[in-house]
Structure 1
Amino acid sequence: MTRAATDTAAPRTPRAVPTSIALGLGSGTMLQGLNSSMIAVALVAIAADFGNGPGITWVISALYIATAVSAPTAGRLGVLVGPRKLFLGGLALVAVGSLVGALAPSLGWLIAGRVILGIGTAAQYPTAMTIVRSIATRTGGETRSALAILTVCAQTMVALGPTVGGVLVGLFGWQSILWINIPIVLVSAVWVLWRVPRDDALAADAGEPAPSSLRALVHSMDLPGMALFLLTVSGAMFVLLSLTTDPLWWLAPGVVLVAVAFVVWEARVREPFIDVRAIAGNTALAATLSRTLVTYTAFYCIFFGLPQWLQVSRGFSTSQAGLLMLPVAGVGIIGTIVASRMYATAGPKWTLGIGTAALAVGGVLLMTLENAATPVVALVAVACVLGIPNGFNNMGNQNVVNAVTTVRDVGTALGLYRMIQYIGANLAAVVIALATHDVGPGDQGIARIGAFIAVVGVVLLVGVIASRSLRGLRPRHTSDSPGVHDREAHSQT
């Protein structure tokens, strides 16, 4: 038998995107999760230096808002100017924002540094995914393992952040949570320059050449659409954040009008910033983004609510509460690996079904916690259960986004995915405030939060089981456009 006949009879299994490339990109994607969570344990020290005024809240919110607005922009810019170039540019902004924040003479400068930091960290994940997809297309490889690495690097840092931040603040002061970014940026930049192909090699794979001039770049960016998007997201964030103090109801009608104007503009413009027509026509993508918003609202209720309860009701120190959150991160890493393999063999329904079922169970367990009666071993067990939905839901939803978008659009789609993640974080803050405003973050408060999470888990589980858009969906390996199963998913409701 000839070699050609052998190859025809037994096609080779697609090779994975090199692990060294995925890890190099992952070293940058970890910055967002780390910086969004370390700040929680540094607020007391920051307030001691700058005063415990209302501006302290914006030290947290500034990064979330900047990231939410910038993430979709980064996905689009990555295709236009080159994903590798933008990835490195984002790292540079992280370094600048860290320096501004660490050396801040006032709270305003610290908030400004956090805004720059948020813009910089928004660039890594969508551009990393564009790079991975482009390399897979060029080499005939598959993206599943690389996506798992990026997810582990990006998501587990959220849970590890309080522990890392607690150690740093205790030893070196609150500025250390900003200084720690500098060596990470340097390592990531060197790694990417060394291992990731140049943009001219990736451009052909992305299917869209870089603009030939600054005018072409500006024209392709749809600046009016970007401005309307910025106003919509920022306005919505302001309204949501005000619900726990003095609600800005007068601002809500204006936000709705701007949102409608954004959708109308994007539906008519020739080169939209966000192709709302494509999203509306891609039911699998639209459903996944909606599911992601609800999922992350529940996840951040766990992330913010449980440490608060551990400190207020159980009297644990900041570092002890951080250590008790470690099982959430550890199980999340294991869950991500298991979910990656499960998605490849069983598809998204089983992957998301396990994740949403675990979310419901975790919510019920939170409802059973009592101030002094729950032993530490039981708390660790609850934390382990709460780590399961993080890995399974992340891998399920992100793989669906990857499967139903092209190389050209995946960066923007995952930018939207990340934007929705941080809208969910702010929604979680509102849920926690409403659940605890009259009883505090004690047993009654955590029980209410648990009830909310349990209901969300049940609703999501029913939605996954009933979903038609998830039927037959499988991860795409080398195709530059949605495959047969993907096209079927697009057409179903």
Structure 2
Amino acid sequence: MVGYSLSMAVLTPAMPIVQRDLHTSAAGAAWGLTAMMLAAAVATPVVGRLGDLYGPRRVLLVVLAVATAGTVLSAVAPSLGVLLAGRALAGIGGGVFPLAYTVIRSVLPPARTAAAVGLMSSMLGLGGALSWCVAGPVIDLLGWRWLLWLPVVGLVPGIVTAWRVVPQVPGRPGAGVDWWGAGLFSAWMVAALTALTQGMAWGWTSAGVLGLAGAAAALAVVWWCVERRVDEPLVDPRLMRVRGVWTANAASLLAGYGLMAGGVLFPLLVQAPRPTGFAGSATQAAMLQLPASIGMTLAGVAAGRLHHRVGSRAVLVVGAVLTGLGYGFVAIAHETMWQLYIGGTARGVGLGLAYAAVANLVVAAVEPAQTGVATGVNTLLRTVGGSLGTQVSAVILTASAVHGHPGESGYATGFAVTAVAMTGVLALALAAPKRRPVGRPSEAVDAHPHECASAQPSAQR
């Protein structure tokens, strides 16, 4: 998961150098991010469904192999076209998240599921934060292509470990994959995300962006109507109306915004030339991410334990409050590094709690056979939210720019807008279902029928 998360975010700091070396425009270089995001958007729910049908281990090995091949192709790409093809293949690796959640729910006892889901959820944010930490030294010492070799260091051992350690989990045969639904889902998601990512390049009111947005809306309506009439849809509209699912999905969208908005605002603020305050180096900007990364990981582990004590709803409330306070603090006080460290660390811990909580809320709200596709949609919405955070923050900074440099008000506004988004997460957390009562041992066995043989002896003892 860290390998995939690194590959998703690691190219962001190198965009200007990629533009120069591959002789392309800024918009062309930005497609290096867009291509992977679009592929992940399309592949994640489909891969989750395939894992539910044919067993997550088998699908996991294929997905990791394809993602590794795509990352290697991107690292050696001689042209922009080859780079984009490799990044699109690497985006299929987004399916590791729903597959991992399916494995966890299938092979671990209920008492350990929440902690494992929390740890896995925090990896998505950790990989993005680590990419900013390593980007500067790697680019300076080795060149931008080595940024793309770094994820391979995580992906290749991941394949070997998955093959040797991850147990076989039987699939749950059904009517197969809803390919019509997958095609329509892919079409409207590609149109929507392309409009979103190209808004800055083409203009938000340009004919191209408005046309793509209109096409996305029309295709989404058609997709929704089709899915309501399919026996086993890729994304069941009834499932999306479950309170524990829709609240967690909406919170994931806003949490993704919070992660990537900080990924843009904090590094640029540290290095911004300003008449007052500091103008830090790229290394200082990278080091600012370390406590946030550590806090995010530890919070993800703690969230799983807290799930059994207070419930994931309460964990999400605390995560939203911490993240909102962190962003609110730096919106007011961002003149010195210690202020950014305080706000950034609160943001990291809060997002670690929030990411783990939304995943556990979704897992708890659906049947085991729906785990893959439900968590796949949840992961997809985090990606969409991250794209929103990047684009909106960039628009805010561009609007405040004077002589090419964002003004103080731009950073303050960017942080404040993100703090407001976190109040949305808080509202959704309060709307989520309250903690389920702890079930009897027999109920835990019923939730995992294939574990009955191993559960009964321990219950007898």
User: Normalising by structure 2, what TM-score?
Assistant: 0.88
Please report how far the alpha carbon of residue 91 of structure 1 lies from its aligned counterpart in structure 2 after TM superposition.
1.3
Structure 1: runs of 5+ lacking an equivalent? 1-28, 212-218, 483-493
Q: Which amino acid aligns with 1:171?
A: L
Inter-CA distance 322–78: structure 2 relative to 1 (3 Å threshold):
same
Q: Which of 412, 416, 424 is matched with 2:373 structurally?
A: 412
Letter in 1 for 2:246: A
- Show CA shifts across 1:379-427 (max 9, x none): 2222211112211111211111111112211111111111001110121
Match of 1:90 among 63, 71, 74: 63
What's the Cα RMSD here?
Answer: 2.1
Return the offset for 1:63: 1.2
Alignment of 1:45-56 (within 5 A): 45-53=17-25, 54-56=27-29
Q: Does 1:309 align with 2:309?
A: no
User: 2:2 touches 2:154 (CA, 8 Å); kept in 1?
Assistant: no
Counterpart pick for 1:186 among 147, 156, 167: 156
Q: What residue identity is the alignment partner of 1:181?
A: P
Query: Which of 412, 424, 441 is matched with 1:447 structurally?
Result: 412
1:165 Cα deviation after fit = 2.7
For residue 167 of structure 1, report the CA deviation from its aligned partner.
2.7
Deviations 1:91-110 (A, max 9, x none): 11122112211121111111
Match of 1:75 in 2: 48
CA contact (8 A) 1:312 1:442 kept: no
After TM superposition, the structure 1 = structure 2 runs for residues 374-413 of structure 1, keeping only pairs within 5 Å, are 374-413=335-374
Give the C-alpha shift of residue 264 in structure 1: 0.3
Q: Which is worse superposed, 67-76 or 140-149?
A: 140-149
1:181-211 deviation per Cα after TM superposition (whole angstroms, max 9, x unaligned): 333222112212221112xxx21xx5x14x8
Per mean C-alpha deviation after superposition, the further-off stretch among 165-174 and 235-244 is 165-174
* 1:334 aligns to 2:298 (yes or no): yes
Contact 2:115 2:302 in 1 (8 A): no
1:319 aligns with 2:283: yes
Task: Map Cα deviations across residues 132-186 of structure 1 (whole Å, 9 max, x no partner).
Answer: 11113xx676312222331233331111111123332222211112222333222
- The AA in structure 2 aligned to 1:261 is V
Q: Runs of 5+ in structure 2 lacking a partner?
A: 449-461
SS in 2 for 1:118: helix
CA offsets 1:200-259 (integer angstroms, 9 cap, x no match): xx21xx5x14x8xxxxxxx62121111100011001011112322323112222211110
Partner of 1:238: 194
Contact preservation (8 Å) 1:129, 1:147: yes
Q: CA deviation at 1:83?
A: 0.7
Asked if the contact 2:130–2:289 (Cα under 8 Å) also holds between the matched residues in 1, the reply is yes
Residue 255 in 1 paired to residue 227 in 2?
no
- Letter of the 1:307 partner, please give it: P
SS at match of 1:316: coil
Q: Is the 1:344–1:474 Cα contact (8 Å) retained in structure 2?
A: no
Point out the more displaced range, 37-46 or 267-276: 37-46
State how far apart, in whole Å, the 2-side matches of 1:90 and 1:146 are.
21
Residue correspondence of structure 1 range 136-155 to structure 2 within 5 A: 136=108, 142-155=112-125
- Give, in whole Å, the separation in 2 of the partners of 1:172 and 1:154: 25
Does the CA-based 8 Å contact 2:47-2:95 persist in structure 1? yes
Correspondence 1:187-206 to 2 at 5 A: 187-198=157-168, 202-203=169-170
State percent identity of aligned pairs: 25
Query: What amino acid does structure 2 have at the position aligned with 1:243?
Result: G
Measure, in 1, the Cα distance between the counterparts of 2:428 and 2:150.
41
Between the aligned partners of 1:316 and 1:302, the Cα distance in structure 2 is 17
Aligned to 1:37: 9
- Aligned-partner Cα distance in 1 for 2:300–2:37: 24
Q: Given that residues 366 and 446 in structure 1 are in contact (C-alpha distance below 8 angstroms), is that contact kept between their aligned partners in structure 2? A: no
1:470 pairs with one of 415, 433, 450: 433
Tell me by how many angstroms 1:481 deviates. 4.7
Shift of 1:443: 1.7
- Say yes or no: does 1:166 pair with 2:126: no
In the superposition, relative to structure 1, how do residues 226 and 418 fare at CA in structure 2: closer, same or farther (>3 Å)? same
Matched to 1:470, the amino acid is P
CA contact 2:34–2:194 (8 Å) conserved in 1: no
Output the amino acid matched with 2:177.
M
In structure 2, how many angstroms separate the alpha carbons of the residues matched to 1:452 and 1:403? 31
Shift of 1:343: 1.9
State the aligned residue count.
431
Distance 1:48 1:288 in 2: 41
Q: Could you say if the C-alpha distance between residues 442 and 69 of structure 1 is closer, same or farther in structure 2, counting changes exceeding 3 Å?
A: farther
- In structure 2, relative to structure 1, the CA distance for the partners of 1:459 and 1:197 (3 Å cut) is closer
Deviation at 1:318, TM superposition (A): 2.6
CA distance in 2 between partners of 1:379 and 1:435 (Å): 19
Aligned equivalents of 2:20 and 2:201: distance in 1? Answer: 22
Shift in CA distance, 273/480, structure 1 to aligned 2, threshold 3 Å: farther
**Matched-pair contact (CA < 8 Å) for 1:38–1:166:** no
What is the one-letter code of the residue matched to 2:22? F
1:279 and 1:463 map into 2 onto residues whose CA distance is 15
AA aligned opposite 1:228? L
Amino acid at match of 2:383: Y
